[in-house]
Amino acid sequence: MQVELQQNPQRYSSKEGVYTISAQSEAVGNATIKPVVLTKIPNGVISIDSLLDTSIKGVIVRIEDLDLWMASPNLVRDLEDSLSMNPHYTYEEFTSVLGAKIGKSIPILKVNLSPLRESIEKEKIKGSFAGVKSVEWSLADDDTIIGLIEQINWTLAPTFPKPKDSYSVFDLNLSGNYSVNALNITPLDENARINEEVLASNLKIINERLAQLRNDFNSIKDTFYFGNSSGTSTKYKVVASVDDGDDYSVQVVTKNSSMISKSNLPSTQQADAASKAVGEVQQAVTQASSTLADKIAGNQATIAAAQQGDANAQSALDSQVKESKSLIQTLREKLKAANPNLDI
């Protein structure tokens, strides 16, 4: 569809990409005014491919690395119909008029593939440590950009469906049987002996399960620690969205176990009863020993107090005797002095 000029279309003319805009007006009379000449500035555009969705209007996308220009079919047709007579509706730029730029009214979005390639290479390395076998990237190794065009259409057009992601992942192929089956447990016999055949069978089952568990764990380490995967794989093609994506599910069973209670065996019950009786006897002996020790300590304290009291009394008596002897001696000396012939 041709996009016509809105003002004074009669003043515009073009020849071989050069526009001439006449400034002549009837009000000037016979005077001649020099027309304005617009010359196209080269921009490197050779052709525009109709690769974008028809709902994308008024924008051109350029893949710089491939020198590829893209637009919707409607825009390409409108540009072809209008380019010869409308220098304002175009992606091209013309010489300016009094400093004002003319043309280039259609914006051009530039896409650089170098960052995208670098990102893809990094994601390939990460994917090798996540069990990913292959991914259909929007930019293929041979620079095929079909997926990239779909991403651009989805980004620019509100109604364009979101492209699906396609990838393959290696299957874990676990060899172990992780079903929870109770081992064959039998109580001790009347002589408190273990059934060796049952014990050997249970140990064999446990050893087989441990061997399978180690093999599976080594396989998981090879994939997620060392990035080495092999075997069968599964391919997925899904929309990377939770709300409007495809509904697909994989059955995953997760099991946990914990001990709730333990049933005592007959021999265990007898041992528990004997242990309880021994404990009660030990507690009684300990309590009696403690009581006897307390009584002995009390008697010792009483005897020590009595002995201390007796010592104090003897000390006081000895002091009184000594004082009496001193008084008697003093009296004898006085009497002797008064009567020397007194024999006392």
Instruction: Check pLDDT > 80 for residue 209.
Output: yes
Residue-wise pLDDT for 276-314, tens only, equals 766 777 787 778 777 777 777 777 777 777 777 777 777
Beta strands (DSSP E) in the chain are: 12-15, 18-21, 36-41, 49-50, 60-63, 68-71, 93-97, 100-103, 108-111, 132-135, 165-170, 233-238
Count CB-CB contacts under 10 A for residue 101: 12
**Nearby residues of 190 by Cβ (< 8 Å), 6 or more positions away:** none
Model confidence at 82, in pLDDT bands (50, 70, 90)? low
Name the range with the highest mean pLDDT among 61-65, 190-194, 233-237: 61-65
Q: Is 143 left (phi over 0), alpha (psi -120 to 50) or beta?
A: left
Amino acid sitting at position 191: N
Domain membership of residue 70 (yes or no) is yes
Q: Which residues contact 115 (CB under 8 A, 6 or more apart)?
A: none
* 3-class SS letters over 35-97: CEEEEEECCCCCCCEECCCCCCCCCEEEECCCCEEEECHHHHHHHHHHCCCCCCCCCCEEEEE
Check: CB of residue 14 under 8 Å from CB of residue 60: no
Closest CA to 41 of 107, 106, 101, 110: 101
Whether 55 is covered by a domain: the verdict is yes
User: How large is the average pLDDT for residues 221-235?
Assistant: 83
Q: Give the span between the Cα atoms of 166 and 240, in whole angstroms.
A: 10
Tell me which of 33 and 68 has the higher pLDDT. Answer: 68
pLDDT of residue 90: 74
227 has pLDDT over 80 = yes
Residue 283 lies in a domain: no
Q: How many domains does the chain have?
A: 1
Q: Please list the residues that pair with 70 across neighbouring strands.
A: 49, 61
pLDDT at 53 over 50: yes
pLDDT band at 5 (very low <50, low <70, confident <90, very high): low
Residue ranges making up the domain that contains 45: 9-111
Q: Report d(CA 128, CA 227) in Å as an integer.
A: 5
Residue 79 within any structural domain of the chain? yes
Highest mean pLDDT among 149-153, 266-270, 277-281: 149-153
Give the pLDDT confidence score for residue 221 in this predicted structure.
86
Report the SS3 class of residue 222: helix
Which span out of 27-41, 71-85, 142-156, 329-343 was modeled with the highest average pLDDT? 142-156
144 inside domain: no
Read off the pTM.
0.53
94 located within any domain = yes
By the 10 Å C-beta count (0-12 exposed, 13-18 middle, 19+ buried), 152 is classed as buried
CA distance 43 to 71: 16
Backbone angles phi, psi at 307, to 5 degrees: -60, -40
DSSP letter assigned to residue 9: G
Highest mean pLDDT pick, 93-107, 114-128, 172-186, 229-243: 114-128
- The predicted model gives 55-78 an average pLDDT of 87
Residue at 121 is within a domain: no
Residue 97 pairs in a beta bridge with 100
Q: What confidence category does residue 252 fall into, taking pLDDT thresholds of 50, 70 and 90? A: low
Q: Alpha-carbon distance 2 to 12, whole Å?
A: 15
Residue with tokens 């041979």: 142
Nearest of 18, 17, 85, 77 to residue 48 by alpha carbon:
77
Q: What is the mean pLDDT of the chain?
A: 75
Confidence of residue 111 (pLDDT cuts 50, 70, 90): very high
95 lies in some domain? yes
Q: In the prediction, which pLDDT does 167 show?
A: 86
Can you give the pLDDT at residue 245?
A: 46
- Cβ 147 vs Cβ 167: under 8 Å: no
CA-nearest of 92, 97, 98 to 40 is 92
Residue 297, Cα to own-chain centre: how many angstroms?
68
